[in-house]
Structures are given as C-alpha cells and as structure tokens.
C-alpha cells in the first residue's frame, strides 16, 4: 500500500491534482456552506449546468484553454444569474422556476453545440473531470479563484450571515442588498469554473454541497460549519484522488464526490444534529423532566 502511494506521489500530474484540489477545497467550502444555508443547494446544481454553453462555445472556438473556459463560463453564468433575477422581479415566476427554465435552455444549447462539434471533444472528461488535465494554467486559475473567494468572504461574511438568517432585517440595514446576493452568485460561478477541470460540469457542485451538508449535522456555529466543511472537502479530494489513481478507469469527479457522499451519510447517522440527536434525546428524555426541554424540541 505504502509503495503504491509513493508511486502515486512520484507522478507530476498526481502532485498537481493534490495541490489543485487542496486549494480548491479552501475556496469551495465557504461557497458551499452558504449555498446550503441560503437554501440554494439546487440552484448551485442548476448554475453548474447553466455555464455549460459558455464553456462549450469557448472550447469550440479556441480549444480547452483556461482563458476560454473562464470567459465563456463567466459570461454564461453571470448572464443566467442576471436574467433569473430579472424574471423573478418583473414577472410572476419565482427565482427557482426562472433559474430552472434558463439552465435547461442553457444545458440544451451546450450539449447541442458539443455534439455538433463532433468527436474532437473529450465528452467524458468534460462531464466528469480528469486529473490528467491539470496544467500550470489550471493551477493558476484555481489559485486565482481561491484568492478572490477568500478575500471576498472576508468582506462579505457578515452581510451574508445577516442576509441569510434574517433577510428583512438585512434589507432594513443596507442600501444595496443586491450587492451581497449578486456578489455571492459571482463567487459561485467562479468556483464552479475552478472546479471544472478536476470534477467536470456534472460533479463540480458536489464538492460544494456534500461537505457543507455533512458539516451541518455537526456544527452549531458558522465557524464550525466553515471549518468542518473545509475538512470534509479536503479529505474527500485526497481520498477520492487516491481512489481515482487506484482504479484508472474511474474519473476523478465521481470518485471525489462519492467520498463526500460517504461523509454525508455517516454525518447524517451519527451527527448530533442528524439522527444522532434523536438517539441522544431518547436517552436524555428518561432523566430530564419534560418542562426542562425547550418547547420546540418537545414539539418535534
């Protein structure tokens, strides 16, 4: 086993993959935490599909370069985010229905162009990621996005907490409530693009959501949520990459997301805010009088 790990570490592409996903974990953890807390988990998935046509058009016109990926994806992602907000404000549709409609159109456009472009397109690595594809430019992209994300979060963290927990109070306290929302959506698109090479378009959002939902079962504070989310994301990447190396036919994206899924299931069963709480509560309820248990707990 140790020999195998030493052998894995001797390959440059594996070292690159480990460095890229380590940085990526630090970047996607806070984005994932707020996707979950803001009840945008499915919107994150939809956005991952919505950036597809941008990436595909960039690929078809200039090849799979980091710049074409970044520019194409950003235009598609920001375009869909703005159109969604516009439809939700000006028409009867709510934002979830607007986003669902637009991402389906975007996904169909992306797959149509991808198919029309013919066999030159590596469909499997496009959808599920490839650890072989991480070059210097990809590392710079991941590093750049992580830097922007972490600096932005230092500024946006408190507004995001207030706006997520109590949106009415937040709107009463700030003149530009949309700045936080749109700033967060921009960070989401950037991180999806950074995760694209390793995880693919279908799996990119998995590294955001699953570590965050797993952390939610353990954390009672926002700091705990962010730190645990990072630990779960990082562990998923390292274990997932090793699995992907051990089983060469397995793309890295599903391997990493599968490990995240294991963290989620274990957390749901044993976490104090998952089923673990029910186990603990049934043990406690034999000793504590009913009157001492908060009303809401009793109702459950």
Which residues contribute to the site for other proteins (CB under 8 A)?
37, 154-156, 158-159, 161-162, 164-169, 171-174, 179, 216, 219-222, 224-225, 294-297
- Cβ distance to other proteins smaller for residue 101 or 174: 174
Q: How far is CA 183 from CA 69, 137, 188, in A?
A: 20, 25, 9
Half-sphere exposure in the Cβ direction for 82 (13 Å, CA): 6
Shortest separation between residue 271's beta carbon and other proteins, angstroms: 13
Closest CA to 124 of 264, 246, 244: 244
Shortest separation between residue 34's beta carbon and other proteins, angstroms: 11
Shortest separation between residue 189's beta carbon and other proteins, angstroms: 21
Shortest separation between residue 20's beta carbon and other proteins, angstroms: 28
Which residues, other chains included, contact 252 with Cβ-Cβ below 8 Å and sequence gap of 6+?
17, 128, 129, 130, 131, 198, 199, 240, 241, 244
Do the beta carbons of residue 38 and residue 156 sit within 8 Å? Answer: no
- Cβ distance to other proteins smaller for residue 19 or 42: 42
Neighbours of 34 (CB within 10 A): 25
> How far is it, in rounded angstroms, from Cα 250 to Cα 60?
26
Shortest separation between residue 165's beta carbon and other proteins, angstroms: 4
Shortest separation between residue 30's beta carbon and other proteins, angstroms: 13
Q: How far is CA 114 from CA 23, 55, 111, 297, in A?
A: 29, 10, 5, 52
> How far is it, in rounded angstroms, from Cα 205 to Cα 211?
11
Closest CA to 48 of 91, 108, 107, 117: 107
- Cβ distance to other proteins smaller for residue 2 or 172: 172
- Cβ distance to other proteins smaller for residue 15 or 158: 158
- Cβ distance to other proteins smaller for residue 225 or 260: 225
Do the beta carbons of residue 65 and residue 191 sit within 8 Å? Answer: no
- Cβ distance to other proteins smaller for residue 152 or 260: 152
Shortest separation between residue 173's beta carbon and other proteins, angstroms: 7
Closest CA to 209 of 43, 73, 5: 43
- Cβ distance to other proteins smaller for residue 91 or 220: 220
Closest CA to 238 of 17, 31, 6, 32: 17
């Amino acid at each position: 086993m140790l020999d195998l790990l030493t052998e894995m570490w001797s390959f440059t592409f594996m070292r690159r993959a480990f460095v890229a996903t380590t940085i990526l974990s630090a970047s996607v953890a806070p984005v994932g935490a707020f996707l979950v807390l803001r009840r945008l988990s499915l919107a994150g998935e939809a956005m991952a599909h919505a950036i597809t046509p941008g990436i595909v058009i960039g690929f078809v016109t200039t090849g799979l370069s980091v710049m074409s990926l970044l520019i194409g994806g950003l235009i598609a992602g920001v375009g869909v985010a703005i159109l969604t907000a516009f439809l939700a404000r000006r028409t009867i549709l709510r934002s979830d229905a607007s986003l669902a409609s637009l991402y389906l159109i975007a996904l169909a456009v992306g797959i149509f162009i991808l198919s029309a472009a013919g066999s030159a397109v590596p469909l499997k690595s496009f959808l599920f990621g490839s650890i072989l594809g991480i070059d210097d430019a990809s590392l710079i992209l991941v590093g750049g996005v992580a830097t922007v994300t972490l600096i932005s979060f230092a500024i946006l963290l408190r507004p995001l907490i207030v706006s997520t927990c109590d949106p009415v109070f937040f709107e009463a306290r700030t003149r530009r409530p949309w700045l936080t929302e749109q700033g967060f959506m921009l960070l989401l698109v950037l991180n999806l693009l950074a995760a694209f090479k390793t995880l693919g378009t279908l799996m990119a959002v998995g590294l955001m959501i699953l570590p965050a939902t797993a952390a939610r079962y353990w954390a009672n504070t926002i700091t705990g949520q962010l730190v645990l989310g990072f630990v779960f994301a990082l562990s998923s990447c390292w274990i997932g990459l090793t699995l992907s190396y051990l089983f060469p036919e397995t793309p890295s994206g599903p391997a990493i997301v599968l490990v995240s899924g294991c963290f989620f299931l274990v957390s749901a069963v044993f976490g104090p805010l998952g089923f673990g709480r029910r186990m603990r509560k049934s043990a406690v309820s034999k000793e504590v009088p009913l009157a001492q248990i908060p009303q809401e707990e009793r109702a459950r």
